[in-house]
Structure 1
Amino acid sequence: MEKIRKADGDTPILIGSGINEKNIADYLAVVDGVIVGSSVKKDGKVKNPVDAERVRRLAACIRSQM
């Protein structure tokens, strides 16, 4: 991430794979934003519907980092 940041420090860096409650704090420490997908789906499966409880838990983790 340091090399990317040095290459163009003004461009926002987003990460969009593997984001979940366990690693969100680590990612938010080094990137400007995240793209969330299957981690908020029922059972973590991409084809399943969004699980509101998973969304609440992830949102709480994100808020705790702000």
Structure 2
Amino acid sequence: MWRIINGAARACGIEGAIGTHTMRKTFGYHFYQQTKDVAMLQQIFGRSRPWLPFGILALMMTWWTRY
């Protein structure tokens, strides 16, 4: 799967390692930017313990919006 996604990225002129995790992070970033709904994002990502990653996810989203 990684080779297919990475090959498609190269064909589009995107450099660097692109894979399923990159796509997941990008989706999460854009979903959060549009909705600001961290709880729904955790459900989409299938978090079994939503209280654990909440702080980490919130920090990541805050960092992404600054830079």
TM-score between the two structures when normalised by the length of structure 1: 0.34
With CA pairs under 8 Å and 6+ residues apart, which has the higher RCO, 1 or 2? Answer: 1
TM-score by length of 2: 0.33
Question: Which has the larger share of helix?
Answer: 2
